[in-house]
Amino acid sequence: MCGIVGFTGQTENKQAVIKAMADAIKHRGPDGEGYFCDDGVALGHRRLSIIDLEGGAQPLYNEDENLVLVFNGEIYNFHALRDELIACGHTFKTHSDSEVLLHGYEEWGEALPEKLRGMFAFAIWDRKAKELFAARDPFGIKPFYYDARGGKLLFASEIKAFLHHPDFQKTFNEKQLPLYLSCQYSPGETTFFEGVYKLLGGHRLLWKDGELKIERYFEPKFVPDTEKTEEEWIDAIDAVMEDSVKAHKIADVEVGSFLSSGVDSSFVACIADVDKTFTVGFENRQYDEAEYAKEFSKHIGVKNHVYYISPEEYWAALPTIQYHMDEPLADAAGAALFFLNRDAAKRVKVCLSGEGADEFFGGYNVYKEPFAVSWYDRVPLCIRGALGKLAERFPRVKGANFLMRRAKPIEERYIGNTNLMSEAYKKQLLLHYDGEKTPADLTKPYRHKLKGMDAVTKMQYIDLHTWLMGDILLKADKMSMASSLELRVPFLDREVFALASSIPTKYRANANGTKLAMRKAARRHIPEAVANKKKLGFPVPVRAWLREERYASVVREAFTSDYAAKFFKTEQLVGLLDEHIAQKKDNWRQIWCVFMFLVWYKEFFVKR
């Protein structure tokens, strides 16, 4: 696991610039650094040593040093690829997985990413052709940001590295704010920094002569196999997860595992056979998973390390957390992950985690919704639309949300796991609302691909393209790297998806449950009560804290600040907070979304 940076074009003091960019993300790789500077290009690398501790330094070169690589991630099938490449005549100098990318590019060219099983973001510079090739793993586990203005290309694992390039213009992209307020993360290819884009998961990039070409090399497809019995699916899930966890444990350092009270992390921790598990807890028992983790760890015979987060340190860490996120994230679990990773990093260098199980196997509670009051979907769309518009006028009335959600077909209304603020709601809060782009516009490119899918599969497909990359994997990567810890996610594996995408919906979700077949596979390893446990996410007591004056006053100060007044009608913000404190309405998620944006904005655009 590492951090990569680079740029093309003529730049004065190139060596100093690329080093400054890499130093900005030193937390991603404190074990070493390396640089390559040539005519028209500079590459930098910060290393966290996991595999081939002695020989895996980067940048890495092929035999004639024409190709230069910087790489962030892990390739889990590198042994098989290495053997295949040696049979083709390639000679290896190291035992690292990184070198497979260089020889793989020589052998397969732009088709290289399709051969890889792992998590990765890498860039290869071809010195003769004067071109740069880059790719990001299929599901977007590892980040890759770029800026291609003015015929030059800048790229990095984190946006903050760009701030140290003399040609980078740091400009706030206000058009991203309304989208964020609905999604609680920064969605799509665009970012809060004008001109900075995300290379999306499953995409590759080629830059040459000032021209940028981006294309997709992987697209998740759900093709149900109706021939297998439920028991056969359970057997297959058990086998593929055993194989994936084994692959994800490949390392020359100790591997631990995160553990919450849910089925996903419990399943992974049990079959991983690690020596240590890590958990965070809170004094408020309603939000505390520590007691479960202790008992479960005792059940599987491993040592459990629990870190209890105090309210004071949680709130004090918020600016640091939002700085590491690069863009604002209003998922309260992100902060809990910061402390979890920080504590684990004191004892291990690699941890396994359960991200991706919900998107692959149908785990979110919202996936049960299509089975609820299913007769209503047979009501003519024009009538549902009219009732939905009427319900928008009374959004707090019981049943109004149901009418609004069912007013449109699922492919038009579903934008991902979170749809926090409607357009009408944002119009009340924002000073400059123009409605130019809505969250529904982000899912339009996928709609024609949803034809023929059932409602659950449609939602899974959209979540794979939006929520998974934008929220789940953003916080997983940024919070682990903030503490120089490598996080590995065995569910988010090419082979696991090949299986999961073939499972019929009836074995994924119904009106009574989610992850149906996966839970039964997990039940072979973990107690039934755990396997059947309702999904909680990562519970954090923010709702309660916001009703305490010492924390409400921090939010009130941000809501009435000069920088808040640039974007919001501050009296409306204060009204939301007052309603929540008085327990007239439960506004905590809306409050937190705005507050996290303001904390982030202060870090990047107000602080000097």
Q: Which amino acid is at 316?
A: A
Alpha carbon distance, N-terminus to C-terminus of the chain: 31
Give the model confidence (pLDDT) of 450-487 as tens digits: 999 999 999 999 999 999 999 999 999 999 999 999 99
Q: Is 69 helix (H, G, I), strand (E, B) or coil?
A: strand
Total tally of structural domains belonging to the chain: 4
Q: What is the mean pLDDT of residues 506-535?
A: 88
Supply 301's token pair: 């015979």
In a domain, 222, yes or no: no
Same structural domain, 100 and 44: yes
Question: Which residues are known catalytic residues?
Answer: 2
In a domain, 223, yes or no: no
Give the model confidence (pLDDT) of 344-359 as tens digits: 999 999 999 999 999 9
Task: Give CA 200 to chain center in angstroms.
Answer: 11
Same structural domain, 92 and 46: yes
Residues near 298 by beta carbon (within 8 Å), at least 6 away in sequence: 304
In a domain, 280, yes or no: yes
Average pLDDT of the chain, as a whole number: 93
Each residue of 510-544: b (16+ CB within 10 Å) or e? beebbbbbbbbbbbebbeeebbebeeeebbbbbbe
Residue 205: give its domain's CATH number: 3.60.20.10
Residues near 110 by beta carbon (within 8 Å), at least 6 away in sequence: 133, 204, 206, 217
In a domain, 21, yes or no: yes
Kindly calculate the radius of gyration of the chain based on its CA atoms and give it in whole angstroms. Answer: 24
The domain boundary, picked from 413, 432, 463, lies at: 463
Q: Band the pLDDT of 290: cuts 50, 70, 90.
A: confident
Which of 201, 431, 468, 481 minimizes the C-alpha distance to 326? 481
Same structural domain, 65 and 34: yes
Residue found by looking up tokens 């960019």 in the block: 21
Residue 276: give its domain's CATH number: 3.40.50.620
Torsion of CA 42, 51, 474, 328, to 10 degrees: -60
In a domain, 141, yes or no: yes
Same structural domain, 101 and 206: yes
Same structural domain, 564 and 477: no
Same structural domain, 521 and 558: no
- Decide: 464 and 417 in contact? Cβ < 8 Å: no
Q: Is the dihedral of CA 30, 31, 36, 41 positive or negative?
A: negative
Which of 369, 566, 523, 545 minimizes the C-alpha distance to 459? 369
Q: Band the pLDDT of 538: cuts 50, 70, 90.
A: low
CB-based burial of residue 393 (10 Å sphere; 0-12 exposed, 13-18 middle, 19+ buried)?
exposed
- Domain span including residue 60: 2-216
Q: What is the mean pLDDT of residues 258-284?
A: 91
The domain boundary, picked from 442, 463, 484, lies at: 463
In a domain, 224, yes or no: no
Residue 5 parent element (H or E): strand 2-8
Same structural domain, 525 and 549: no
Asked whether the predicted pLDDT for residue 537 surpasses 70, the reply is: no
Q: What is the mean pLDDT of residues 510-534?
A: 88
Residues near 49 by beta carbon (within 8 Å), at least 6 away in sequence: 31, 32, 56, 252, 253, 349
The domain boundary, picked from 463, 495, 518, lies at: 463
pTM of the model: 0.94
Q: What is the mean pLDDT of residues 309-338?
A: 96
Supply 188's token pair: 């799509």
Same structural domain, 302 and 168: no
Same structural domain, 71 and 202: yes
Same structural domain, 238 and 290: yes
- Decide: 113 and 104 in contact? Cβ < 8 Å: no
Same structural domain, 174 and 34: yes
Same structural domain, 260 and 308: yes
In a domain, 38, yes or no: yes
